[in-house]
Structure formats: C-alpha cells, structure tokens
Amino acid sequence: MRSILYGLLAFSGISLAAAQSAEDYKVTSLPGIDISTLNFTQYAGHIEISSETNANLFFWMIENEIKSGNEKLIVWLNGGPGCSSMDGLFLENGPFRVNPDLSLSINEGGWQKYATNVYLDQPVGTGFSFANTDSYMHNMSQITEEFVTFVDKLFIAFPHLAQQDFYIAGESYAGTYIPYFASRLLELNKEHGKYNLKGIAIGNGWISAEHQYNAYYDFSVQHNLVDKDRLPIISAHLKNCQNDIKDKETIHVNSCERILTDVIDSSTHENKAGDKICMNMYDIRLKEETYPECGLSWPYELDDVTKYLRLAEVKTAVHADKQTLGWKECTSLVSAELHGDQSKPAYYLLPGILEEIPVLLFSGEYDLICNYVGTEYLIGNMTWNGSRGFSKNTKKEVWKIDNKLAGYYTQERNLVYVLIKDGSHMVPYDRPIECLDMINRFMQVGDNVVQGRLSQVGNGTTPITTPTTKPAPRPSLPAPSSTKTEKDTNSQDELEEGELMPEDKWSQYYNWGTSTLIIVILFALTLCCCWCRGSRRPSASAADEFGGAPQQVREGVHSNKNSLLGFVRNLFNRGKSASANRRKFRLGDNDESNELDELVIETPMLFEADEDEDDNVNQHHQHFAIDDEDDHEDEDDDFEDFADFDDGEALTTNTKHTSNPKKFKKKD
C-alpha cells in the first residue's frame, strides 16, 4: 500500500525536480573498484528539499545483498553537527575502505548483507549537501522537517523502500537528530500511518547535555585522565555548569563546554622532540595526538577518504556534481548556525519513543566526548514505560563472538543498552564485526552468526531482541540512588566476565543451598549463645553499651535486651551507628585529609531504586558521591571488566597537564 501511495505521488508530478527515477540515481561505475564484482547495487545523488533556497540533500544508498522477503532499511546519520555521513560509509559500517593509493577494498563489517543502507549528508551544507548559505538550519524543528521531506521524496523515487522495516541509526550528535526525527515520524503516523518505523539505534550519542556534562568529570577521574591538583578547578566549572543547566537546559550549554576543555588540557604536554601533544578525545588510549587538534583529524584514514571523495571522477560517478565546493568531513558554518538553538535535549523525547518502538543505545568504552558513563546516567535517571532505569532483576549479559568477549547487553521495556569492549567514539570503526552482529540482533536477522563467527548473548544463542508492541504500564518507582552501583542491584544475576552458565546450572544452586543452610544453622547457634550470655547482664548495660537512653525507650518494647529479636536489632544498630560516623567525600569538597589519594568512583546507576528511597530525588541529576575506599574493596566494578578480561591488555591512562582553553566539536 505504501509503495502504491508513493508511486501515485510520483506519477502525479509532485515535486518534479525531486521525483527522479531510481535509474537516474544508479551508480554504474566507481573509481578504485570494479563494481561488477560487488554483490550489491548502489544509488546516489541529490534530492531537492526546497527550490526556493536551493536546498539539496545528498545520499548514497547501498542495497541489501540478501533478498529475504522481509527487507530492512537503515538511514545512517553522522553527527557534528555538520559532519558528513560519508564517514559512516567509508570509515565505519559501509561496504568500502579507502586504501592509501585511493583504491577501494571491502569492509568485512559492512551492514549491507541484510539491510539497505542510506548514508545521508544532513542538514543542508553538510558533506555533498548544499543550499544557499543564508538558508542553513537554525534549530531542530527545521532540521526535522527537512529530514521528513527527504524521506518522503526518497520513497517517491524508490517506492519499494516504503514497504521495508525502517530504522534510523547514527552516532554522536545524531543522538540529538534521531529522537527528534523518530518522534516526528511517529507523530505523523497517527495521521497517515505511512512510515514503517521499527526502531532507532544511537552510538555514543549526545542525547542529554546534563548527564553527559556531569559524566565528563566522573569518567575522567575513573580513568585517571586528570591530575589531582586540577580536580578542584574542574569541579568549580562543573558546579557552574550545573547551575546554568538549572536555569535553562538546552542541547548545548556554553559554560559546560569548559569541562571537556579542562580534561583535554590536563593531558597536554611536550614529547621528547619538544612538540605539544595531547590525548585523543575520541579514544583515550591514544595519548600522542597533535595539539590543538587532540583527535579532530582522527581516524587516520580520514586523509585518504578526503582525497578520494574530492576526485572529480568520484563526484561524477555518484551524481554529486551540483555541489561545487568539494567534500569536507565537517562544515563549521552548519555548526555555527545551530549554536543558538534553544531546542530541548532529545533525552525528553526518548520515553515517548520507547512506548512505541525499540531503542538501541550502544557505547564504546574508550570514548571521552560522548562517554558511556553519561549514557548510563541517562538510562538510570530516565522513566519510561512505567519505571525508572532498568529493574533490579534485569541481567547484564555477557556477549561473545567466536567465544571472545565482545561486550555486555542489558535490555528491558523496549530499551537495549550495549557496552562494547575496546570501542572508541566511532565504534563501527574499531569493532566492525561486533557492530554488525549488534545491528543484526536488533533487526532480528543473522541467526547468531556474523561473518562465519558464532555469536551469543548470555548463556544461550537466542538473539537479543525487543518487543515491538507497547508494553503494559508499570507503577512509577523512586529515583535511583547515587550511592549504589550496578553491581549492588544486579549481582545475583551476574555472570563472571567471560564465563558461561553450564547446562546443568541448577546443580550448583543445590550445592549452594546446602552450604547456605549449614551457615544459617551455625549463625543461629552463635546468636543463641550470645543471647544467653546477654540475658545475664544488668538491665542498664543496654544504655551503657550503645550510649544514650535504654533500648526500650529508643526502639520500643521489641528491642528489649532480653529478647533474641532485641539482641539482633542491637547488633545491626551498632553497625549502622559506626557507618554513620564515616565521612562521605563528594567531588568538590576541600580535600584537607588527602582523601583524594584514595578516590573510588562509583559506577553509574542503571537500575531502579529501593522502594524506601527519596521520591523527590531529581530524576535528571546524578550525584557523584565517592565513598571511602574500604567501603568498596570487595566490590567488582562492572565497568572495568574490559581492562581485566585479557591479561596484558589493560590500558594505562596517566596524563600530564597544561592549560590552554579550547572548544571541541562532537564530530564524526
């Protein structure tokens, strides 16, 4: 029905300039490779958005190789804002890689096997897209309508695409684009029902400014990226940022950008040759980047991609000749025009989207600029489908490919969160096979095999998928606590890293139960002995031992020292009293006791809170409490699993510092 509708629109002559046929866009040759050897067909060119402003969006489409009858369509978006999605095509999940001699080779991790992929340069002015420079977009409302117009005209040129399961995917600043686009399409569906949108996927996304700005501090301390003497400075900037966000929360908060600058400055130093170098903000493992770029020219293959896309033969082959300026990875003017955008963060749109379609959020562990800590703060503080955060019985499951750790999956109530081992800001660049398996699972294709490698999540090989029907509403729960870790709330279901549950898993539970019974009996005998001894003490001893008024007065009749229940309560109260006397240290406090020497960063809260926690906790704010080290000495930090998984693969993150304020773009 959808293809008939768009066919009629094309036939009726709606937007004749844009309604070119598919054959007009077909790529019949491509420099650097013999396309007759390829298993897929390509289409590329411009779709006119507005004749008045000369606005044209460029796309490059790779058709799926396998025609299964249940076709998938992915529109891929890179971020910036103002960065070209040709990054995705040639550096990440597209079928090609550019060699130094400008020939093309095939990317094993391309997403085109099961899905048609459309790489879109948007908004106008990005990559090969263009418009009159006084017609660039100024806010997310304009960009959203531009995207909807593109989709409509794409479906006119290719009516069969309207029938396919439609996904929007991207990374970085696309974490803002995609929720806006999806929310608008779902809204329009209530009127027309013409968009077959099945899900969205966001990698290392800039979704919530507040949670990500807060996470800069915690992520940096957790990975030892900042010198101790610089922490008070960054803490002061963080407090200023938080105050400004309280006044008005938008996609960007100018004062908050200083926090990232502080972290990068802390990594800046001179190498042996006397050159200034710094850490790569997109991959903290890379410590010797040229200053002041600090990763802006990364990935290193970008130079080859730029040369290739600027070849006149390439522009002609992909019907991009109407754009006369040549290809640039990121266009600063596009970003500058959006600098004053007062749109609300995309975070507020996610709950409504999750009511209707699945959402995949994935993060590489070594990205700083849109790091996984911020994503986990976002999840832990977001209320969707009746509850806040993941519930406590939701398992974080080990994900393996070829029996090697790939990362961790957590999913519930239409939300899938994936933390990817050894991933950077551009995860498909670092981990192409892992990302291919991940997107196949999300689309429910692939049969747990990715490029000949077996893949599994948890203790079985069932694909991780999410329901597409609207879940039943659940009662609201209190805000998550900032003093509990993911391990605290999920430890019972947690597997040891890299360890799979044996087939006879129940036998270990029987053994565990027997051991537990013995321990309980011994504990009960010990309590009885202590109670018998306590019952012979003078009645004043309760007050003397615990301080203050007798137990009967403070806790009531059931706390009588001569009852077993009273003894147990006294025992626990003693522990609570000792705990209360311990000093809690928070980031930003004056460290006169050198407690910063023993900092322990708490892991982000992904899970719902206990029922008795404060209902009035701000759901959009994450506190950064740091407990004394001995409070956590036996805990396992779920988010350091990767560093410990393979012997000898842990990465050091010690840095030096200098001071040079700089503003960075959330590019890719």
Which residue segment(s) compose the domain that 576 sits in? Answer: 507-580
Is the distance from CB of 453 to CB of 576 less than 8 angstroms? no
Task: Please write the tens of the pLDDT for every residue from 621-650.
Answer: 453 322 333 444 333 444 444 444 443 343
How many distinct helices (H) and strands (E) make up the chain? 21, 21
The answer to whether residue 114 sits within a structural domain is no
Indicate if 172 belongs to the active site.
Answer: yes
The answer to whether residue 168 sits within a structural domain is no
CA dist list (Å): 206 to 99, 305, 477:
31, 25, 26
More confident residue, 179 or 588: 179
Question: From the centroid of its chain, how far is CA 370?
Answer: 8
Q: In the chain, how many domains are there?
A: 1
Task: Please write the tens of the pLDDT for every residue from 486-500.
Answer: 333 343 333 333 333
What pLDDT is recorded for position 587? 31
Contacts of 173 (CB under 8 A, 6+ apart): 79, 80, 81, 83, 206, 666, 667, 668
| Catalytic-labelled residue, pool 84, 85, 129, 172 | 172
Tokens of 480: 């998550």
Judge whether residue 557 has pLDDT over 70: no
Indicate if 367 belongs to the active site.
Answer: yes
The answer to whether residue 140 sits within a structural domain is no
Indicate the pairing of strand 165-171 with strand 197-203: parallel
What residue type is assigned to position 204 of the chain? N
Separation between Cα atoms, residue 466 and residue 360, nearest integer Å: 9
The three-point CA angle 419-423-429 to 5° equals 130
Among positive and negative, which fits the CA dihedral 27, 28, 31, 33? positive
Task: Please write the tens of the pLDDT for every residue from 21-41.
Answer: 899 999 999 999 999 999 999
Among 409, 412, 404, smallest CA distance to 420 is for 409
The answer to whether residue 570 sits within a structural domain is yes
More confident residue, 601 or 146: 146
Is the distance from CB of 256 to CB of 209 less than 8 angstroms? yes
Among positive and negative, which fits the CA dihedral 513, 515, 519, 521? positive
The answer to whether residue 526 sits within a structural domain is yes
- Identify the three-state secondary structure at position 240: helix
| Catalytic-labelled residue, pool 223, 319, 425, 620 | 425
Among 280, 274, 307, 308, smallest CA distance to 292 is for 280
Which pLDDT band, with edges at 50, 70 and 90, does 247 fall under?
Answer: confident
What pLDDT is recorded for position 322? 95
Separation between Cα atoms, residue 400 and residue 403, nearest integer Å: 5
Judge whether residue 658 has pLDDT over 90: no
Task: Please write the tens of the pLDDT for every residue from 202-225.
Answer: 999 999 999 999 999 999 999 999
Judge whether residue 8 has pLDDT over 50: no
Among 346-350, 406-410, 548-552, 630-634, which stretch is predicted with the lowest mean pLDDT?
Answer: 548-552
Judge whether residue 483 has pLDDT over 70: no
Q: Any idea which residue has 């493992």 for tokens?
A: 285
Percent of the chain with pLDDT over 90: 63
Separation between Cα atoms, residue 98 and residue 86, nearest integer Å: 12
The answer to whether residue 640 sits within a structural domain is no
The three-point CA angle 76-184-113 to 5° equals 25
Indicate the pairing of strand 453-457 with strand 449-450: antiparallel
CB atoms near residue 392 (< 10 Å): 16
The answer to whether residue 424 sits within a structural domain is no
Among 281, 266, 289, 287, smallest CA distance to 172 is for 281
What pLDDT is recorded for position 468? 40
Q: What is the mean pLDDT of residues 368-397?
A: 97
CA dist list (Å): 305 to 75, 88, 174, 634, 666:
21, 11, 21, 48, 20
> What is the pLDDT of the chain when averaged over all its residues?
77
The answer to whether residue 219 sits within a structural domain is no
Separation between Cα atoms, residue 301 and residue 292, nearest integer Å: 19
- Identify the three-state secondary structure at position 288: coil
